[in-house]
Structure 1
Amino acid sequence: MNDGPAGHVARSTSRPHSETPPVKPLRAYLRTSDGVRIDSVYDPGPVVYENQAPPPSGLAFVIAHGFTGDADRPHIRRIASVFTRYGAAVTFSFRGHGASGGRSTVGDREVHDLEAAVSWARRLGHDRVVTVGFSMGGSVVLRHAALFEDVDAVVSVSSPARWYYRGTAPMRRLHWLVLRPAGRLVGRYGLRTRIHHRDWDPVPLSPAEAVPRIAPRPLLVVHGDSDAYFPLDHPRMLAEAAGDHGELWLEPGMGHAEHAADTELLCRIGDWAVSRAG
């Protein structure tokens, strides 16, 4: 699935010229560095009225959804609406999802999709960007921050720490969906997700291997103790790899990814992001 050597994504050190952020929601198709068209939405947040404190205008949250999600799903719109209390929100559909082009590589080439969205936030005038990823998106934000330098803080929710994990029934079903022709048909017509048929070659940097490369930028790892996909050894492995620059929140009773992230948790993540990157 990879077009080049694992871990050899070019680092981006320059920040595009900043413009005044739009005051209305904006939809655009972005082009990734490997030529895929990505459906993206910019939300500057609610109108600020007299006697209201505006959110930090320079801060943007770039939200990376989980596998089979997309920018128009209600749970993604809900998450974006909470984060606009703290800054602008950029949502997008990963390749192979929703109205985006291409086919899903289940976390490999998706770093280019995220980089296109982060660069868009910079071009729209935001000098501080926090990436927040869920499940597959949680692994993508970790690898992206290890390979690119244009984010200020990273939040990874319900991410795996290592590849090819099949220790739970949901993950065994996911592997069937990705690896079998019948599964990919279910993905395409039942879940609106077009999945690439090729195996990873080479295997990309794992999330746990990526985490040390994020330092010294702050990292927050969030995981539910009732996650049916990835047990608690995954977030603990990520936190151990992060060392002093990482923080681990184990959430009592929380399940997996976007659907399990309630408003109270999202607000705590927003507060954390403002304190670290704001």
Structure 2
Amino acid sequence: MVASRRAATRGASPALVTGIRTALAVIGVALTGVLAALGVASAHMARRVVTPASRVPDTHILALDTGAQTITLSRTPDTELPGRYGLFTTGTADYVKVGSVLAEDARSVTRKLLTHVGSTSRLSPDAAFSGWYYSHPEELHLPFSPELIGSAVGPCPAWLFPAGEGDTWVIQVHGRGTNRAECLRAVPLFHSLGITSLLVSYRNDGEAPRSRAGTYALGATEWRDVDAAIGFARRRGATRVILMGWSMGGAIALQLALSSAHRDIIAGLVLDSPVVDWRLVLDYQAGLLNVPPLVSALAIEALQHDWASPLTRSGAGIPFDRLDALARASELRHPILVLHSDDDGFVPSDASHDLVVARPDLVELQVFDVARHTKLWNYDQDRWARSITDWLGRHDLVGE
């Protein structure tokens, strides 16, 4: 066979042989280029996943009527939502509250301002729409104290809102790219039920200390800082701890339920728009950004390995298998309430539905529509509060 190929080659014209060699060389260069491009794109995506995100403008202020106290925003799936929200901007105010939609057309929505904006105020056009609503603890008009939680990376700031007899606590865990102010919305409800609230920070969130790599581990390391907060609560008299996680905070809460040294006092989990399976979320977000599936797969593969960490800048491999609460559903031991919108738009609700199927004995899912990601309180506060209150009551978790 080899001899026949050699003979065929010897019989070919020099021009043909040269052409074949040139074509092979071009193909080789092209393949190298494609592989290099895939590698660069995958590394870029991987870095985006683990790099703490700064707030990115997602809407524009089109008009500001300080007489009528209204604001007109470019229309997006978020800015058209009913309810009350926050708006991050720059200028004479860095954050304003907005209320109901007063008028709308194909390109814009006009909403009521709930923060007074004076006639001489100037707001920059670029703004970021938010479900936070409250931005500072003083806005709740409830007693609170600033605290520091000792963790392996250093002291992590927290806010403590005492309530009831102090034996039942809820520890609130914020999501990716935000901070503990995201959780302020939930404090009045828990306070009314006699449950002390502790709103915590964790490594690399902009308030807690920075880890050596300075990047997120998607819950694989951050849970240890929140575990230290459970220990803090225990030392302060807590005998039952409820974990409430928002988005990536849900992934952190699930890791605590699986791995915490204080699992004996964890009484249950409340998860708002949670990440249950990171691979599903990353694939979904890659699709939204029109990232080819191969690039997404390569990025997730690279993030899993220590050898790729210089490229991904993750500091270490991220254990996606360990973070997959759906695959580990049989290990769960605590009752879980999941609140998730099927129109989340950022973290698909599929894994939340699947978690109920996997553990119907432990997991209850309240499905919302339209409400979008972590904006369930804003969209339908009454239903959100009723769902949590009823669930706490059924599990005898209302404070004394």
Length-normalised TM-score, structure 1? 0.71
Query: What residue number does 1:158 align with?
Result: 273
1:268 maps to 387
1:30 to 149, 159, 165: 149
* Aligned alpha-carbon RMSD (Å): 2.9
What's the CA shift for 1:236? 1.1
CA distance in 1, matches of 2:319, 2:350: 25
Offset of 1:230 from its aligned partner?
2.5
Which of 197, 205, 208 is the aligned partner of 2:326? 208
Task: Tell me if the contact between 1:143 and 1:206 (Cα under 8 Å) persists in the aligned partners.
Answer: no
| CA positional deviation for 1:155 | 1.3
Q: 2:184 — aligned with what?
A: 77
Superposed displacement of residue 147, structure 1 = 1.2
1:110 aligns with 2:218: no
| Contact 1:57/1:126, CA 8 A, preserved across alignment | yes
Alignment of 1:124-135 (within 5 A): 124-135=236-247
State the 1:267 CA deviation.
Answer: 4.5
Match of 1:145 in 2: 257
Asked if 1:121 corresponds to 2:238, the answer is no
Partners of 1:64 and 1:133 within 8 A in 2: yes
Return the match for 2:344 from 227, 252, 263. Answer: 227
Structure 1 position 201, deviation (Å): 4.5
Does the C-alpha gap of structure 1 residues 267 and 95 become closer, same or farther in structure 2, counting only changes over 3 Å?
farther
Unpaired runs of 5+ residues, structure 2, are 1-141, 300-311
Which SS does the other structure have where 2:326 is aligned? helix
The letter for the 1-side match of 2:185 is R
- Conserved in 2, the CA contact under 8 Å of 1:83 and 1:266? no
Write the distance in 1 (CA, Å) between the matches of 2:153 and 2:198: 20
Instruction: Please state how far the C-alpha of 1:154 moved relative to its aligned partner.
Output: 0.9
User: How far apart are 1:56 and its partner, in Å?
Assistant: 6.0
For 2:167, the aligned partner's letter is: G
How many residues are aligned here? 225
- Alpha-carbon spacing, 1:90–1:256, altered in 2? closer, same or farther (3 Å): same
Question: Residues 160 and 24 (structure 1 numbering): CA distance in 2 closer, same or farther, change over 3 Å?
Answer: closer
How many Å separate the matches in 1 of 2:200 and 2:347?
Answer: 24
Deviation at 1:28, TM superposition (A): 1.9
**Structure 2 letter corresponding to 1:223:** H
Q: CA separation in 1, counterparts of 2:266 and 2:349? A: 27
Distance 1:201 1:70, change over 3 A: closer
SS at match of 1:256: coil
Partner of 1:99: 207
SS in 1 for 2:225: helix
**Aligned to 1:227, what secondary structure does the other structure show?**
coil
Distance 2:288 2:162 in 1: 36
Partner of 2:335: 218
Counterpart of 2:173 (choices 64, 74, 80) is 64
Q: CA deviation at 1:121?
A: 1.6
CA distance in 2, matches of 1:166, 1:196: 20
Amino acid at match of 1:109: T
Q: 1:132: Cα distance to partner?
A: 0.6
Look up the equivalent residue of 1:198 and give its one-letter code: G
Query: Distance between the aligned counterparts of 1:255 and 1:39, measured in 2?
Result: 29
- What is the alpha-carbon distance in structure 2 between the residues aligned to residue 270 and residue 36 of structure 1? 35
The TM-score, its normalising length taken from structure 2, stands at 0.51
Identity %: 22
Report the Cα offset of residue 151 of structure 1.
Answer: 0.6
What are the ranges of 5 or more consecutive residues in structure 1 without an aligned counterpart?
Answer: 1-22, 46-54, 180-194
Secondary structure of 2:208 counterpart = coil
The higher-RCO structure (CA 8 Å, 6+ apart) is 1
Q: Is the 8 A contact 1:142 1:210 kept in 2?
A: no
Is residue 2:40 matched to residue 1:40?
Answer: no
The 8 Å contact of residues 220 and 319 in structure 2, kept in 1 or not, is answered as no
Q: Is the 8 A contact 2:155 2:208 kept in 1?
A: yes
Contact persistence 2:174–2:183 (CA under 8 A): yes
Alpha-carbon offset, residue 269 of structure 1 = 1.2
Higher strand proportion: 2
User: 1:161–1:237: 8 Å Cα contact kept in structure 2?
Assistant: no
Larger Rg: 2
SS in 2 for 1:76: helix
